[in-house]
Structure 1
Amino acid sequence: MNRFYGTGVAMVTPFDGSGQVDYASLRKLIDHLIDGGIDYLVSLGTTGESATLNKEEKKKVWAFTAEVNNGRLPLVAGIASNNTHEVVEAIQHFETNGYDAILSASPYYNKPNQRGIYEHYKAIAEAAPLPVFLYNVPGRTGSNISSETTVKLAHDFKNIIGTKEASGNFDQFNHIMRDKPEDFLFISGDDPVTLPMIALGAVGVISVVGNALPRQFSDMIRLCLEGKFQEAQKAHFDLIEFTRLIFADGSPAGVKTALKQIGICEEKVRLPLVNVNDEVAAKIIAEVKRIVG
């Protein structure tokens, strides 16, 4: 599973001025990320605004991404829902060609208890034709996958191979790292705290920042994984303001502003998301110019 070490990028979905998927820009983004040295791609995670794409659009984006990637990097598909039956059905009908794993965010809004979360992922694990990553992001879902539930799922289902952790709870991280199976992958889902998470034992990150700054961010992650934390710390500090800004007025609107500045795609997002405000946009653009020229 070391193909999922390092920097994965939760890719944005580019839209044109009329709000349709912009496939030419998606091709540019994929090549930009690969040329930037990232380690694997995540298609239609939450950063890809998957909640606003219909089934046919998702199918086309997944197929196009696999075609353009053409086996150059490992590829992960984001497939999630707060309806367990729906996500199981989507996984059963997913065209796996070109894909290496599935990333599934925990159910949002319903606020299931830990038994419900366990049963949700049990159903996914039993249906999935590919390895599965859990995704814990309480700030968006409204519920937390506890360390006990994460570890139980990791021990009970061999095809649940890791977790993307974005709870920000280091006590929880400690318990997962202590009790998980040795080969279960602990991955940061939160760009600003990836460095200390790797110090604790995380094997990398699934990043938003990496969309715009793949070389800078993946180089920092490699230094961390090599144990060169003093060098990595310099790069980490250099990216702090950019990282703060791209989340300051909504994600992925912030990173799409940066991507427009470097000529990858338009900043268009789909409602209910809107573009970042003018003040934040100006600061993002200034940071991009400072970092990449």
Structure 2
Amino acid sequence: MTSSYQDSSVPFGRLLTAMVTPFNDSGDVDVDQAANLARHLVHQGSDGIVVCGTTGESPTLSWKEQNLMLRTVREAVSGDVKVLAGTGSNSTAEAILATKEAEAAGADGALVVAPYYNKPPQEGLEAHFRSIASAAPSLPLMLYNIPARTGCSISPITVKRLMDCSNIVSFKAASGSVEEVTQLRTFCGSQLSVYSGDDGLLLPMLAVGAVGVVSVASHLVGSRIKAMIEAYLSGQCKLAVSYHEQLQPLFKALFATTNPIPVKAALELTGWQVGSPRSPLLPLNLEMKEELFHILEALP
């Protein structure tokens, strides 16, 4: 299955999977499993794959491992879909270097998270993203707002000021607020493509102007999420709501504790040996794993 989007308002397709990073029994990156999983995700309907984001455990990967994951996945999907690299950092200099390396490695885009821990003011956020955009001018960027993880939030007004950077083309909205999409649309219009960063909010975000999703659940139900998007876009709203309701228990279970702990457990339950998360994250506890098993079994 191949996907090709010429519409500039949908720069990376509708369904992107924030892919886990598989580890082998020794705790090293399992490149063979990463390649197999990437191809599986494409077969299940993903238009794009994001490597080494939050779900990919970027905080515990070295830059060398992140580059390895990018090259592995890009080679595995052979240009069939867009491949984005997570290149964000709380250090502007490191984020610039990582983004330039992703550009050189042939990434189709970069996911750049707001700097975490040091809590820069809006002026600092603007300078940070502007510097990254200027350093890799030919690489399309997706800004990533996830304040629950980073401790700061990118203001829609700040994003508006960044719209003179031609390669800032999209935004992953993971604040948990549908209103964020409306505010971004108000300030930036169609120049900025907004993606839901929350599977459970995908349908309501589509209703207010989001173009798609960067999904975790698509590891397991990619074809159904794609069908929900297509149903909504074709005006079959009742069908879209039906998919939305059917999938809510899984969406909630995958975020019952810190991502990617549950999705790695779910993949294991469905036959994918992707290894445990790296410390300080731990495998899913037995009680939650049993509940997740029953939710997966009950999917229609």
TM-score (norm 1): 0.95
Please name the residue that 1:5 is paired with: 13
Amino acid in structure 2 at the alignment position of 1:255: V
Decide which moves more: 17-26 or 168-177. 168-177
What are the within-5 Å matches in structure 2 for residues 108-257 of structure 1? 108-128=116-136, 129-154=138-163, 156-257=164-265
- Asked if structure 2 preserves the Cα contact closer than 8 Å seen for 1:253 and 1:267, the reply is no
Once the two structures are superposed, what CA deviation does each residue of 1:30-60 show, in whole Å capped at 9, x if it has no partner? 1211110121111111110011111221121
Give, in whole Å, the separation in 2 of the partners of 1:209 and 1:144. Answer: 24
- CA RMSD in angstroms, aligned pairs only: 1.5
Residue of structure 1 equivalent to 2:3: none
Q: Is the 8 A contact 1:259 1:267 kept in 2?
A: no
2 CA distance for matches of 1:209 and 1:243?
A: 7
Q: Secondary structure at the match of 1:213?
A: helix
2:287 to 255, 279, 287: 279
Residue number among 30, 33, 40 corresponding to 2:41 in the alignment: 33
**Offset at 1:182?**
2.1
Q: State how far apart, in whole Å, the 1-side matches of 2:23 and 2:156 are.
A: 37
Query: Which position in structure 1 is the counterpart of 2:4?
Result: none
Query: SS at the partner of 1:285?
Result: helix
Please list the CA deviations of residues 112-150 of structure 1 after superposition, one character each: whole Å capped at 9, or x if unmatched.
Answer: 111010000000110124011100000100101011112
2:50 aligns to what SS in structure 1? Answer: strand
Q: Partners of 1:266 and 1:94 in 2: how far apart? A: 24
Task: Return 5+ residue gaps in structure 2 as ranges.
Answer: 1-7
Shift of 1:22: 1.5
Does the CA-based 8 Å contact 2:185-2:192 persist in structure 1?
no
Tell me which amino acid in the other structure corresponds to 1:104.
V
Amino acid at match of 1:136: N
AA in 2 matched with 1:163: F
- 2:27–2:275: 8 Å Cα contact kept in structure 1? no
Counterpart AA for 1:41? I
Looking at structure 2, the residues matched to 290 and 22 of structure 1 have their Cα atoms a distance apart, in angstroms, of 30
Contact 1:106–1:136 under 8 Å retained in 2: yes
Write out aligned runs for 1:35-74 (5 A).
35-74=43-82
Distance 2:254 2:213 in 1: 17
Aligned length: 291
Shift of 1:251: 0.9
Q: How does 1:98-113 map to 2 (within 5 A)?
A: 98-113=106-121
Structure 2 CA distance for aligned equivalents of residues 207 and 179 of structure 1: 25
Instruction: Tell me the percent identity.
Output: 37
Q: Is the 8 A contact 1:6 1:222 kept in 2?
A: no
Superposed displacement of residue 95, structure 1 = 5.0
Q: How far is the alpha carbon of 1:97 from its aligned partner?
A: 4.3
Partner Cα distance (1:97, 1:91) in 2 = 10
Contact 1:80 1:107 survives alignment (8 Å): yes
Please, which moves more after superposition, 77-86 or 51-60?
A: 51-60
Normalised by the size of structure 2, how large is the TM-score? 0.93
* Structure 1 unaligned spans of 5+: none
Mapping of residues 74-85 of structure 1, within 5 Å: 74-85=82-93
Distance 1:59 1:262 in 2: 28
2: CA distance, partners of 1:225 / 1:111 = 38
**Is this contact kept in 1: 2:178–2:201, CA < 8 A?**
no
Shift of 1:83: 0.4
